[in-house]
Amino acid sequence: MRLSVVLIIGFLVLAMPFTLRAISEKGFYADNQVYYNMRASDAISNGIYYDQLENRPFELSLINYLGILTNYNIILPILLGLISLFILFKFSREYYNQFLFALIAPSLFALSPIFIFLFSSMISEMLALFFFFIWVWLYHKKSLWSVALLSLIAISDIEFFFVSLILLGIYYLYDKNNRLFSYNLLSIIVAAIFYFFNPFYLDFVSPSFSNYFTSFGAQAGVSIFYLFLALLGIFIFWKKTRSKKYFFTAFFVMFIFSLFLVEARIIFTVMLCLLAANFSVFLIKRVWAIPIIKRFTLLLILCGIIFSSALFINHTINMPPNKELIQGLDFLKTCTPGGVLSSDDLGFIIQYYSDHPTTFDNINQTQPDIFYSRDLNFVKDYFKKNNIKFVLVTSKVNQNLWSKEDQGLLFLLNNAANFDLIYGSDNLRIW
Amino acid sequence: MKKKTAIVLLVLIVLLAFSSRLFFSFQTETVSYDAYFSLRQIESINDNLLPQFNDKLSFGGRTHLFTPLFYYLMALLDFIPAYEKVIPALLFALSVIPVYLISFQFTKKRDISLMAAFFSSFIPVAFSLVNDVSVYSLLLLITLFTIYFVSRINEEKYLYLSIGSLVLLVLAHSSSFLVLLGFLIYLLLIKLESLEQNSKEQELILFGTFLALWYNFIVYKDAFLVNGPLLIWQNIPLQILTNFYFDFNIIQSIYFIGIIPVFFGIYGLYNTTFFSKKRPVLMIVAFFLSSLLLLWVKLIPFRIGLLFMSFMLVLLSAYSLHLFYSYIKKTKFDYIVNWVLVGILLLFFLTAIFPSITIASKAIKLTPSKAEVDAMLWLKNNTANDSVVMARPEEGNLITYFAKRKNVIDNDYLMVKDAQQRYDDVSDVYNLRLKTEVVRILNKYNVNYLYFSKKFGTQDKLYYLDEPCFNLVYDKVVQIYQVGCKLE
On whether any CB of chain B is under 8 Å from the CB of A296, the answer is yes
How many Cβ pairs within 8 Å bridge chains A and B?
A: 65
Q: Which residue, B235, B239, B266, is CA-closest to B250?
A: B266
- Cβ–Cβ contact A218 with B under 8 A: no
Each residue's pLDDT tens digit, A349-380: 999 999 999 988 877 776 777 888 888 888 88
Give the pLDDT band (50/70/90) at residue A68: confident
Q: Sheet containing A388-394: give its strands across.
A: A339-341, A388-394, A428-430, A423-425
Lowest mean pLDDT among A43-57, A239-253, B157-171: A239-253
Do β-strands A56-57 and A50-51 pair in parallel, antiparallel, or remain unpaired?
A: antiparallel
CB contact under 8 A, A297 and B218: no
Q: Closest Cα to residue A350, out of A410, A390, A386?
A: A390
CA distance A144 to A149: 9
B residues 403-442 lying closer than 8 A (beta carbon) to A? 417-418, 421
Q: Among residues 94-133 of chain A, which lie with CB inside 8 Å of chain B? A: none
- Please give the mean pLDDT across all residues of chain B: 90
Mean pLDDT of each 10-residue bin along chain B, 488 residues long: 91 96 93 94 94 93 92 94 94 96 93 94 92 92 95 92 95 89 93 89 93 90 84 85 69 87 93 86 94 86 90 95 91 86 89 89 91 95 94 94 95 89 91 86 91 79 80 91 83
Question: Residue B332's pLDDT is what?
Answer: 86
Chain B's closest residue to A402, CA to CA, is B418
Please give the pLDDT value at position A200. Answer: 67
pLDDT at B277: 80
Contacts of B414 (CB under 8 A, 6+ apart): B64, B65, B223, B227, B231, B234, B235
pLDDT score of A391? 92
Note the pLDDT of residue A136: 94
* Cβ contacts of B224 on chain A, cutoff 8 Å: 213, 215-217
pLDDT of residue B230: 83
Identify the CA nearest to A109 among candidates A270, A241, A234.
Answer: A270
Note the pLDDT of residue A363: 75
What is the per-residue pLDDT across B8-58, written as a single tens digit (0 to 9) for each? 999 999 999 999 999 999 999 999 999 999 999 999 999 999 999 999 999
Count of other CB atoms within 10 angstroms of residue A50: 10
Q: Do B418 and A403 touch (CB under 8 A)?
A: yes
Q: Which helix (H) or strand (E) holds A300?
A: helix A291-317
Q: Check if the beta carbon of residue A356 is closer than 8 Å to that of residue A390.
A: yes
The residues with which B482 forms a beta bridge, in sequence order, are B449, B471
| Stretch 211-250 of chain B: residues touching chain A, C-beta under 8 Å | 211, 213-214, 217-218, 221, 224-225, 228-229
pLDDT in tens, B461-474: 777 888 788 899 99
Closest partner CB to B218 (pick from A210, A297, A307): A307
Nearest CA in chain B to A295: B207
A323-430 CATH: 3.40.50.12610
* Chain A, window 391-430: residues with a beta carbon less than 8 angstroms from a chain B beta carbon: 403-404, 406
Record: contact A225-B213, CB cut-off 8 A: yes
Percentage of chain A exceeding pLDDT 70: 97
Domain residue ranges in chain A: 323-430
Interchain pair A297, B203: CB under 8 A: yes
Can you give the pLDDT at residue A201? Answer: 66
- Selection from B151, B88, B126, B181 nearest residue B314 by Cα: B126
Dihedral sign for Cα atoms in the order A271, A272, A273, A279: positive
Domains in chain B: boundaries:
3-26+82-365, 370-483
Per DSSP, what are the bridge partners of residue A222?
Answer: A213
What is the rounded average pLDDT of the residues A126-153? 93
Query: Per-residue pLDDT averaged across A272-280, rounded?
Result: 93
Residues of A whose CB is below 8 A from B228 = 209-210, 216-217
- The pLDDT value recorded for residue A409 is 86
* Positive/negative CA dihedral, B232, B238, B239, B243: positive
Alpha helices in B366-391 (DSSP H): 370-382
ipTM: 0.82
Residue to mutate among A211, A212, A215, with most B CBs inside 10 A, is: A215
What's the gap in Å between the CA of B39 and the closest CA on chain A? Answer: 30
CB B444 within 8 A of CB B425: yes
Distance CA A350, CA A430 (A): 12
State how far residue B298 is from chain A, nearest Cα, in angstroms: 19
N- to C-terminal Cα separation, chain A? 57
How much of chain A, in percent, has pLDDT values that exceed 90? 41
Give B-chain residues touching A209 at CB under 8 angstroms.
228-229
pLDDT band at A242 (very low <50, low <70, confident <90, very high): low
User: 3-class SS at A389?
Assistant: strand
Give pTM, 2 decimals. 0.86
Candidates A216, A293, A301; nearest CB to B229: A216
- A143 close to A134: Cβ distance less than 8 angstroms: no
Please tell me the distance from the alpha carbon of residue B447 to that of residue B450, in angstroms, as a whole number: 7
Residue B402 C-alpha from the chain's centroid: 23
Give residue B354's pLDDT. 86
Averaged pLDDT, A318-339: 89
Contact B228 A404 (CB under 8 A): no
Residue A239: per-residue pLDDT = 63
